[in-house]
Amino acid sequence: MYLESMNAPAGTQTASRAETVAWHRLTGAEALTRREATTEGLSEAEAAVRLERFGPNELQAGEGIRPWKIFLAQFHSLIIWVLIGAGTLSGVLGEVSDAIAILAIVVLNACIGFYQEWNAEKSIAALKRMTAPRAAVRRSRVTRLLPSREVVPGDILRLEAGDRVAADARLLEASSLRCLESALTGESDAVAKQCEARSESDLPLGDRDNLVFLGTTVTSGAGWAVVTGTGMDTELGRIAGLIDEAAAEGGTPLQKRLDAFGRVLVWATLGLVAALFLLGLWRGFKPFEFFMTSVSLAVAAVPEGLPAVVTVALALGVLRMARRRALVRRLPSVETLGSTTVICTDKTGTLTVGQMTVRALYAAGRRYAVTGEGYGPEGQALRGDTPVTVAGDSALGALVHVMLGCNTAQLRQENGLWLAVGDPTEAALLAGGRKAGGNPEALETEWARVGAIPFESDRKRGAVIRRGPEGRLRILVNGAPENLLERCNRVNDESGVRPMTPEDRARLLAENAALAEQGLRVLGSAWRDLEPGEWNKDSERAGGGVTAIGEAAPDALERNLVFAGLSGLQDPPRPQAKAAVAACRAAGIRVVMITGDHPRTALAIARELGIARKLGIARVGEDIAREFGGTDGAGQTDAACLTGVELDALSDSDLAARVESITVYARVTAAHKLRIVRAWKAKDAVVAMTGDGVNDAPAIKGADIGISMGLGGTEVAKQASDMILADDDFATIVAAVEEGRGIYDNIRKTLQYLLGGNTGELLVMTVCVAAGFPSPLLPIHLLWINLVTDGLPALCLATDPIDSDLMRRPPRRRGESITDGGFLFTMILTGLLTSGVSLTAFFVTLHNHSLATARGAAFSVLVFAELLRALGARSETKPIWRIPFFTNRNLIGVVGVSLLVQVFTQDNDFLERVLKTTGLPLADIALLLALGAVPLLALEALKAVGPILRRGTPPGISP
């Protein structure tokens, strides 16, 4: 055997050299020589060679990017260069304040983008912090602590409870070794490890029980393992590579829509203005004068306030989300969540509380429900609807006595959270016993612990020996019910202890099966008072170690037991998760569960939450398929589950063809999760990925929006995410979806308001120039209109309260343009109405007054029309009288003040000289104001007709 000279205790599992070499050959790792796999370990010389060959045992960050390059990369967007040009031209025209405002917007957006670029590097840094700083390594027959970065393939690691594993390794020896791998695999419970070779070549990560992995934690036991992979050649390293790869994927839907819109707007504006300039020259306008007019028109036609509108809308959305316990790390992510069509969510710690919890008890033929989630004391045992405790139920008391007594875990409270110290399953039994009225502290005092038989995967049970009153010794045993029943010949019921009958055994096995079908992990509990002399006092003085009384001691002690009852454990769903899933479904959003846990557990949680309406499983083995059922004659299910092994057998095209029919994925790895996200994105879905573990980070980074858990999430997941749920509540995502939809609606209606006004300005100029009339608007008029109507009113629209019926609409399609048919119809109609009233004022006034007076009338009517239209722009479907008027007081105030300022321009000598207008009587101004209200009244009347304005019913105004 490998470690004979290491004094391996009796009962300890060891692996043969042939098994280890065979396993390495199977996985492609470097084959070990006999010398490397013996008790000597590597020599220092060989370790140095391997360190040079394989490199340090640390995760490599992506290629560094210089800060100035990151900053300059923020200016690659076409719309940004249009804004820079607009700002420059505004400065040339003497509008210094306008130029400063535009360029400030550009710099602000560049700074925000610069900050976002560091997220991937932070994710890799967080992964580095997960690695063990030092490791116990055996080299040249000596075990000593080394920096983990110096560990190389072929090194032999010493593993003990509390250690963080320094590298991926194959176990050579394991003594009751259990590792917590939830951050890597998503499985809540600690995994029992063993040394036997596994012949399967495609085992899921969570089932590789003869391996330990970098970054995971040893919760109990001890062992020795030979290193098979270091640094980036580990499971954690592969995840780091996936994060880097996922980070390179495209921008958010809003960014893509605005970029596409910017390109169209720029070329359309430049084309129209150039054509208008040439037409003006042909009509005989003075070249320089009309060039300045054309430049002013170009500046006015580009909605340079749009980036500010988007930034303000998103920033205020971030503040609102923070009040609802969602912390947004990237501004566009709020809007992106609003367009989400699919939420791919991890189970452990996201849909569930992330802590094993006793959900059900069974003792003396009676079933008990246990309320409360996690390790906290909140909750109680219920028989029916009646609370019960051990004080009034002796059978329940006997079961709780074993649950608390056969236990080495501890619970502690930190920052308001209850945490487990030790094995998660034992911690769950400890918390469950307390809820049923048990007192662990009193038990420790009355029944002192004198020995233990650690849980071992081959025995499937563990035991604790305690000394009670009057020196009586008792062995308390927890384990797999089928296995434990074989060691029992008595049962405890209401009347006390009696012999176990075949009927009792059958009833207990049936109850075990019923609990398992609910997705619960079932443990049995039993006890026996030991006879004098059965327990070796020398063992007790030596600290209670079992090995001192021989290898046969466990079987000798764990016999003729009294069966006390069953405990059903589960990582339970979060209380608000079911309602949140239902709300997602009502909003047209698919929820898909992706977990590293067992298919049975995943499907049970999915059914309880409503993700899977009927249990089903797709090709997970005929025996499991028969157990779950839920298939029709064609073998199809309406809630299919796919395992990681089956996922590996599918090509990308096959997965894309089936992805819409699969609601649950089980036993999957980090690479699988990223692949599932990409399959949905290939179907034009906008995908959100939620999770809390390291294994979720690549998919979180690769999704359109990544969401991590703030309380229970790993630092890696948080750094990879766009948004963090401060309360770890899946229900908060629904609030974020509503907020995101509201932000998109506000941005869309603000853009429609801006472009409608700009269209009117272009039409006013084009009609007059084409018809040979004088220009109705001067450059200063265009810039004033741009300042008064495109600034504060647009910002007020961008912060409009969310529409109450928003979550009853279906989500937007990924390829849906922000300027669809309904949008363009409304924009053109608005432009026609606005230009119509402005030209009417111009021609009527020109007929009776001077050109300067006519220009002033056209100018004022245009401003009045656009300001009044802002009041109706709050909704694309509801007329103004159906919108609560005072819910946007800022808009009312801005419109009112701007109207007064515009009136003042017609009655102030200084402003008349600056704006090149002439004074008008108040009666004429009132008529112009009434004329300016015509577009608003016409558009609101059009909304009131109803069905023709619904989305997708052209012509119409889409919501």
Active-site residues: which are they? Answer: 346
Pairing label, strands 687-691, 342-346: parallel
Are 687 and 662 within 8 A, CB to CB?
no
DSSP reduced 3-state for 848 = helix
Instruction: Round to whole Å and give the CA distance between 330 and 333.
Output: 6
Dist. CA 406–CA 475, nearest whole Å: 8
Retrieve residue 257's tokens: 């829509």
Collapse the DSSP code of 563 into the 3-class scheme (helix H, G, I; strand E, B; otherwise coil) and give the result: strand
Q: Is 634 helix (H, G, I), strand (E, B) or coil?
A: coil
Separation CA 606–CA 199 (nearest Å): 32
Quote the CA–CA distance of 680 and 678 in Å, as a whole number: 5
CB 639 within 8 A of CB 614: yes
Inter-axis angle of helices 851-872 and 922-932, to 10 degrees? 50
Dihedral angle of Cα 823, 825, 828, 832, to the nearest 10 degrees: -130
- Distance CA(741)–CA(797), nearest Å, equals 15
Under a CB-based contact definition with an 8 Å cutoff, are residues 899 and 932 in contact?
no
Pairwise CA distance, residues 762 & 767, whole Å: 9
In the Cβ-directed half-sphere of 943, how many Cα atoms lie within 13 Å? 22
The CA–CA distances, whole Å, from 214 to 61, 65, 332, 695, 842 equal 17, 28, 34, 12, 77
CA atoms within 13 A on the CB side of 449: 21
CA dihedral 913→918→923→928, nearest 10 degrees, is -90
Distance CA 537, CA 214 (A): 40
Where are the strands (E) in 650-736, listed by range? Answer: 662-666, 687-691, 705-709, 723-725
- Tokens describing residue 823: 């949008």
Quick one: tokens of 496? Answer: 């006390």
d(Cα 420, Cα 413) in Å, to the nearest integer?
9
Q: Where are the beta strands (DSSP E) in 513-598?
A: 521-529, 561-570, 590-594
Structure tokens at 807: 């979550």
Helix (H) or strand (E) holding 930: helix 922-932
Q: Going by C-beta distance under 8 Å and a sequence separation of 6 or more, which residues neighbour residue 410?
A: 420, 421, 422, 427, 430
Question: Structure tokens of 338?
Answer: 């609003």
> Which residue carries 């580095």 as its tokens?
128
Read off the amino acid at residue 92: V
CA 807 to chain CA centroid, Å, is 20
Q: Exposed e or buried b for every residue in 193-232, given b needs 16+ CB within 10 A?
A: bbbbeeeeeebbbbbbbbbbbbbbbbbbbbbbbbbbbbbb
Beta strands in 309-375 (DSSP E): 326-328, 342-346, 357-363, 366-370
**617 with 603: CB under 8 angstroms?**
yes
For residue 80, give both structure tokens. 């940004």
DSSP state of 348: I
Report how far residue 934's alpha carbon sits from residue 917's, in angstroms, rounded to the nearest whole number: 23
Number of residues assigned to the chain: 959
DSSP, res 945: T
